[in-house]
Amino acid sequence: MSIQLNILQPEGHSLQADDLLPECLHQFLACPTPDAWLQWALDNPEILLIDHAQCEKKAASTAMSLLYRYVDQPLLLSKMSQLAREELLHFEQVVGLMEKRGVAYAHLTASRYAEGLRKHLRSNDPDRLIDVLIIGALIEARSCERFARLIPYLDEELAKFYRTLVKSEGRHFEDYLLLAKQQTAASIDDRIAFFVAREAELITSPDTTFRFHSGVPS
């Protein structure tokens, strides 16, 4: 299975991808996904699907751990419970597509991305929770942006699936951001700006391994 991307070609396509994204998400991320990552993804369609499945499973697991840790926050509980269910549904859908396409589910090492953000977590709540929620918002926002960037180059079945994901991951981004802001009466804008900048470094700098959230090929 291979998909060829002509980066120079589809003017209409990139407009189409941008049109799929909510405006607030565009403004939130510091940089778009580089074309070099896009080509890397299309050269590795099987790893893209396997790592995508991993990401959905991890997203559900992160939401579940928040459900255990913050039982005194009703809005967080309802949002994270719904989110975990949706991520597991996405997981099932990706695994279903992999089976249909004969892609074997192998273990993959994690990309540097999530750890590259989490290493900046502050130690004590509410600071720690605020950081976890900002990172959650960033991961959802970047996933949403990458699905939208990929859509114009995918077969109809995968493109249709990713269009549904753009909608739900966009909603998850907003939920995480809302929950982060709700943790304190003070502004968290500086903290958001800090993580947005770290995220952009991870996205634009050379990376050794292709994954869904990799930087660019080194």
- Contacts with Fe ion, residue ranges (CB under 5 A): 56, 59, 87, 90, 140, 169, 172
The nearer residue to Fe ion, 146 or 172, going by C-beta atoms, is: 172
The nearer residue to Fe ion, 90 or 146, going by C-beta atoms, is: 90
Q: How far is the CB of 83 from Fe ion (least distance, A)?
A: 6
Q: Tokens for 52, please give them.
A: 């995508």
Q: How far is the CB of 66 from Fe ion (least distance, A)?
A: 13
The nearer residue to Fe ion, 131 or 169, going by C-beta atoms, is: 169
HEC profile of the chain: CCCCCCCCCCHHHHHHHHHHCCHHHHHHCCCCCCHHHHHHHHHCHHHHHHHHHHHHHHHHHHHHHHHHHCCCCHHHHHHHHHHHHHHHHHHHHHHHHHHHCCCCCCCCCCCCHHHHHHCCCCCCCCHHHHHHHHHHHHHHHHHHHHHHHHHHHCCHHHHHHHHHHHHHHHHHHHHHHHHHHHCCCCCCHHHHHHHHHHHHHHHHCEECCCCCCCCEEC
The nearer residue to Fe ion, 90 or 142, going by C-beta atoms, is: 90
Q: How far is the CB of 169 from Fe ion (least distance, A)?
A: 4
The nearer residue to Fe ion, 39 or 145, going by C-beta atoms, is: 145
Q: How far is the CB of 9 from Fe ion (least distance, A)?
A: 29
Q: How far is the CB of 88 from Fe ion (least distance, A)?
A: 9
